[in-house]
Amino acid sequence: MTSESGITRFVPKHEARSAQWWVLQRISGAFTFVLLGLHMVLNHFLNPFVEAQYPDIVRDYGIASFRVVQIKMANPLYLIVSFLFVIFLLFHAFNGVRTVWLDIIPGDASRRFIGWAVVILIVVLTLFTLWLNFSVAQLPG
Amino acid sequence: MTGSTEKRIHDTQVAGGSKPRNFLNWFKPWDQGIGMWAWFIQRMTGLFLVLYLFAHFGVLSTLLIDPTGELFDTLTISMNTPFLHGLPEIGPFPLDKATSFGFIVDFVLIGAMIYHGFNGIRVTMFDFYPESVRAQKRIFWILTILGILTWIIAMLLILIVPEIVLPGG
């Protein structure tokens, strides 16, 4: 950095390509903020998907019971919202882990390794959540 | 034009986290200002939330292990069973319910989520409006107050809503 700015120690660790991860972390963070709030409200406080159709099941078993979870997961709108939530949350979480990792272990080889590890973790865990949702939704109620 | 506030922030961030030999500096945020505390708690809550994510997927996996749902309901019921009874009921808030493993986990979890989310808004604000960095301390305390209010409201709502109906209840 120039002496004009006075910042002499702020030197990027890697090439400028890392900037895309930084921007994506902000975008995924914003989506996660909104969708996590929705997730908490839907799963703790009220659930219009279930409560409108099956008010007695919610009353008799509770909002966190298996029956209610199953009815929720069978709803296509819930599936779409969950899928978006999982994608943004997993990206935000593991890109955050990547940032911490690169603070401790810098270098090109390390960056390539953790980059691929993050991609694989996101794909595997997204497939896991989809499999979970479809399996539970298809069980006999 | 770069002011001294920006310089201090960049110095703090770099001194705190960008070199392996400075790793231990993460764990001594004192005497480095409120921004360093904010950064430290942001990082710790972030790592905690990633750990929680795996625990969450682990509990949800019981839906696959036992398709009848009995295992899942047993887990949910045991996590939500109070271990103290006979506490007073203040208005609509049964204090018994606050003494369960699930409530304590929710308390820590929701606190970490609210901190991480609100501080994330603060950091993103600095990225989009660099001028706001000059007010970073005031913004931190305003968001802290808003966050604590949100936290209290969320925990009170959890006390009211029946998450799981306990056997015999």
Q: What is the pLDDT tens value at each position of chain B, 169 positions in all?
A: 445 554 444 444 444 445 666 677 777 777 677 888 888 899 999 999 999 999 999 998 988 888 888 898 888 888 888 888 888 888 888 888 888 898 999 999 999 999 999 999 998 888 888 888 888 888 999 999 999 999 999 998 888 876 777 665 5
CB count within 10 Å of CB A90 equals 22
Task: Compute the count of residue pairs across chains A and B with CB atoms less than 8 Å apart.
Answer: 112
Distances (CA, A) of B74 to A103, B21, B71, B80, B130: 42, 47, 5, 10, 51
Mode of pairing for the β-strands spanning B93-94 and B89-90: antiparallel
pTM: 0.83
One-letter amino acid of A136 = V
Asked whether the CA dihedral B81, B85, B90, B91 is positive or negative, the reply is positive
Contact A45, B155 (CB under 8 A): no
pLDDT in tens, A34-44: 999 999 888 87
Question: Which chain A residues in 51-110 lie under 8 Å from chain B, judged by CB atoms?
Answer: 59-67, 69-70, 89, 93-94, 96-97, 100, 103-106
Contact A63 B6 (CB under 8 A): no
Cβ of residue B61 closer than 8 Å to a chain A Cβ: yes
Of A29, A66, A104, which has the smallest distance from its Cβ to B73's Cβ? A66
Contact B163 A46 (CB under 8 A): no
On chain A, the residues whose CB falls within 8 A of the CB of B62 are: none
3-state secondary structure chain A: CCCCCCCCCCCCCCCHHHHHHHHHHHHHHHHHHHHHHHHHHHHHHCCHHHHCCCHHHHHHHCCCCHHHHHHHHCCHHHHHHHHHHHHHHHHHHHHHHHHHHHHHCCCHHHHHHHHHHHHHHHHHHHHHHHHHHHHHHHCCC
On chain A, the residues whose CB falls within 8 A of the CB of B73 are: 65-66
Looking at residue B6, what is its pLDDT? 47
Contact A46 B161 (CB under 8 A): yes
Cβ of residue A135 closer than 8 Å to a chain B Cβ: yes
Instruction: Report which DSSP code applies to B167.
Output: T
pLDDT in tens, A80-139: 999 999 999 999 999 999 988 888 887 788 888 999 999 999 999 999 999 999 888 887
Contact B50 A94 (CB under 8 A): yes
In this prediction the ipTM stands at 0.83
Contact B67 A30 (CB under 8 A): no
What are the backbone angles phi and psi of residue B150, rounded to the nearest 5°? -60, -40
Helix then strand then coil, in percent of chain B rounded to 5, is 75, 0, 20
Residue of B nearest to A134 (CA): B64
Residue A53, min C-alpha distance to chain B (Å): 18
